[in-house]
Structure 1
Amino acid sequence: MAVPGKITVCCQPCDRDGQRLAAHGYCKNCCEHLCESCYKHHMRHTLSRDHILVDKTNMPQIMQLSSSFHYQQHEDFTKPCHKHKREVINFYCQNHNELLCSVCVTHGHQHSPCKVSYIPDISENVIDGKEYIELLKKMDSMSEQFCKIQDRMYRSTVKANKTLSNALEDIKLFRKEINKRLDELEKQAVVEVNVFQDENLKMLKEVETACNDKTRDLWTSCDSMKRLNCSKQAEKLFVEVKSAERMIEDCEKRLVELAKFKVNSYSFTPNETISKLLTSEKSLAILVHKTMHDESTTKDSMVFEKELYYHGDICVKTSKDKAMCWITGMTLLTPNILVITDYLNMNVKLVDTRSQYVIDRLHLDCGPYDITSVTSTELVATFPRSNTIQFLAISSDKLKQKNTVKVDGHCWGISCYLDKLVVSFYDPAKLQILDMCGIVLKTFRDQNDFGNPLYVEAISSSIYVSDTNKKRVTRINWCGQVIGSYDDMNEARGLSLSDDGTVFVCDRGRKVIEKISGGCFQGKVVLQDLKYPQAVCWCSETSKIYYSSGDGNDRDKNALHVYQLFKPLQ
């Protein structure tokens, strides 16, 4: 490659033969730098012994290269120049701290202040060097900062939208105290709430996307540098290190921008004037927004810093059951109504948690595995043996079958968010997003992400998957990209979400229930020494957690085990 310009001095005759040797002297007649061997031959050769030679001390310290001077193209130079796409980076300017190609050297770095070096000449100390090690530490720290911002934004948004949900409930209660003339005004308030929710979710999506992009770039660069360092590829590593430094500068600016996020929360305040004189007012309620800054603790996250107490068992075996119960799925319709799937007895059961009694039992053709609520009166369950999902309805505390949908595999876990169903499959392992008619909208089947995805929970920004083969809980977005994972598991089973986005997961192998942060960064055991926990369900209103046993004696498997935040009265 022709490189007109100047460069750190080396022997020019040897360089034409593909060798890089330091210059020992200079021939004024030939205008070339010479290594020690060429210098001696130059003095003895008939054609050059009368040439004027100067030693290393007096020779020019910068080479002015002619178009005939060529650098041997190094096979490890593969990174393209960001300014000249057809050229590869092979030089470095110390004055400007800039990676260069030959064109960059020619057009922008020929002035005397520039000290341009050929990368193979200066990269030998980069392997396990101080600069490399410090850069890795800084990139790891910065990745963690992005993850923390994303997690804080997620938790704040969940809490903010919960306040909006609470405000909506207050609006409905207030609405019951007045006459039908307020119907239109209530609709306006609902629309306003939905607009605010959409704004919060849009802001969350923007921050989450930015954090994911930067984190992915940092991880990719870190992995590349570690790989190049391990394989002792100094030239490539040097280039990657310098590129990473530029990336760090950009990330630092982005971190400052993202750290300034603000999310509005809302509360409902009844209008006293409307209560007295409805006809003179134009609004049903006032939604007062409050800016939420970073809050490391919320109601649900705070309560689990306290101890959970054993509250008792609810027997769910009925006189019509022929086998021992195996409760594999559960979901709350209300704080007092729990719906469970009994796989071995092929039943879906309706449990009143106050009376601790099974108030209805629907017998099916095969065993239902998991169940989720679609509305307050509609549910859907998975049937892995028949490769189907079954919609169910509840009316007057009675369960009845609705339509059945065929799916393309052994379906296990299921979760519903808005009008989308998320279903997990085994053999082959995959996740699918379906509409309410069973039409497949998306399929995720990356073997690196899923081994045996068993249970799923879906919210606006994330889908959580418990994987028994991978021994972890994986967090993905609705595009199927992994955005977090908690790997400190043995045999991950049932999942449940609290209002603040905390994930509760059964680890049957360790006989514990663990709470995991919404970003899947950290976890804590909240119940231990349990009876092979299989499925779990947390109720925020009553501060109770329900779990079923996947193994053990008849009494263990035939009951729901209940723990409560507050110690029961004796």
Structure 2
Amino acid sequence: MEVPGRTQDSPPKDSAGRSLSGERTIFCQPCSSDGDTIGAIGYCQNCNEYLCAVCLKVHRKQAVSRNHIILDGDNMPKVTIPAVTPNACSDICTKHVNEIVKYFCMSHDAVGCGDCMIIDHKSCKIDRIQDISTEYFNGTEHQNILKKVKQFVKDMDEIKGELQASEGNTRQAYTQAIKDVKAFKKEIIDYLNKAESEMLEMINERKKKNEMMIQELQQAESRIRRNIKEIQTKLQLQVNQANELFVEAKQVKAKLNDFEENLNSLKKDTSIDVYEFQRSSHMEQMVKSCRPLGDIVDQTEQEVEHVVSKYDHLVSSKEVTDHTGLDRKSISEMDAYFDCEINIKTQDDSSDCFIASCALICPSQIIIIDENNKCLKLVEVNIKKVSKYKVKNIPTGVAVVNPNLVSVTFPGERKIQFFTITTSNKIIESDMIIVSTGCKKIAIYEDKIIGITSTSVEIMSMSGQLIKSISNPNMVWLMDIAVVPSSQMFYVSNGSLGYKAVFKFDFDGNLIATYQDKDLVDVRGLEVTRDGIVLVCNWASSGSIRMITPDCKMIKELLKGDRHVSYPYCVTFCNETNKLFVVNSHYNLDKKFRNVLKVFQLK
């Protein structure tokens, strides 16, 4: 009777697995990997493995191993064979499924069966794998492969760690993005609720005022009616009494004149003003545009200013990517075409306009400074409507703090006045700060005010405290200033007194670049687009708008010889619509150029 785990003629063993005859029993290796200790009765030279009776039977039946060389009985090795031995090949050829891979071609570094060598390598030097395999073990190539595999495992571990980190970052980014969207939505809803409350309050005040007026008029009407009834009754009672009638009539005559005046006044006052709600053109345009709440951008995305820092890169590319992630044409590739003009002179203006400065609030609104008429004017572009706010002193410069707040310079009083723009497009005075110098023009950058005098740039806090003053020997008559978006850089234009130029500085006062041109007659307004391109007014009778690169090199000249442009004094640009707004200003300007805002489309 056979005992499991021992061959029929195996000698008895002690507890350590040694036979009592002194020889050590060799166990089946496949079974040992499963934790079973069954004695081996055969050895496969191809697999370098000891097999028990069951495993040997399966080994001889499988197609992949039925041709392997099996040693059994006394032919079986008595000790474990080393891991690498010059045994027979057993791998099946991938091209010839009935053949075994036995040969190696050194010229092509390829292995194959006999058919492969005859067909593809008959002129090559061929070696038997069995003859050269032992030399390969632990050789240079073998070691290199082991190192590469080890490195691959290490790389995969790193990738796994990065993927796990990315998974965490993705969850965090998702949670934060959802939170930010909801927070922004809440801000918008809060703003709309506040705007609605303000508008309803105005409507309620108007209603209350009208109701009080109607009540007063009703009381007056009742009083006059009673008095007239009394007179009418007295006259009727005394119709047959001549003396009393005469006296009463004379007394009533004087009262009738008063009644007539009161009655005429009452008729006039009963005409109550009928009001209606007029939509904000800016809000209406925003709703119609169906713009998304924002964009989803990569945190590693570089700022536009850095992307276009080199002019060659800027103009060599036909397309650039805007903040929405969509490809669009660079404005350096565009030309300007006249769109329309907007009359900016109001009926109560005492003289022709002299527009000293202008700034874009949003695609549908522009704020302008009219020196001659001492006022601010809010231009609603789409409906060509102008709202005016009169001031006591002469304003010269304007900058947008946010869509509801602008700042205006009054150099004669050395002050900067802030003005609030309400949801109904009314201009209301807000805070005011006193500055140490009379700034002519200003720009706003984050929490700083950058103003210019004739010869210097003054960097101040929002409270007017001087942070730094920047001067340069060539700055003798500064005209305008423009700050580079998302960068502590700014441009100033210098004109009139010989050195016509545009200077680029950083906030430390370092001169970065200078733009000069022999054909530049004079320099006035400045604007920096989102692409980093600078627009500067060439102030001349047949003037133009110069387009220059961030490092102050000429790109092109817009509107040269255009019949709508003469002495262009200030310019602003809408990055959303690619509209260019130009105001011509000069004391001797032809009348057809006065009092209008010129609108051009870049395409």
Higher relative contact order (CA 8 A, sep 6+): 1
TM-score, normalization by structure 1:
0.48
More strand by share: 1
TM-score, normalization by structure 2:
0.45
Structure label with greater radius of gyration:
2
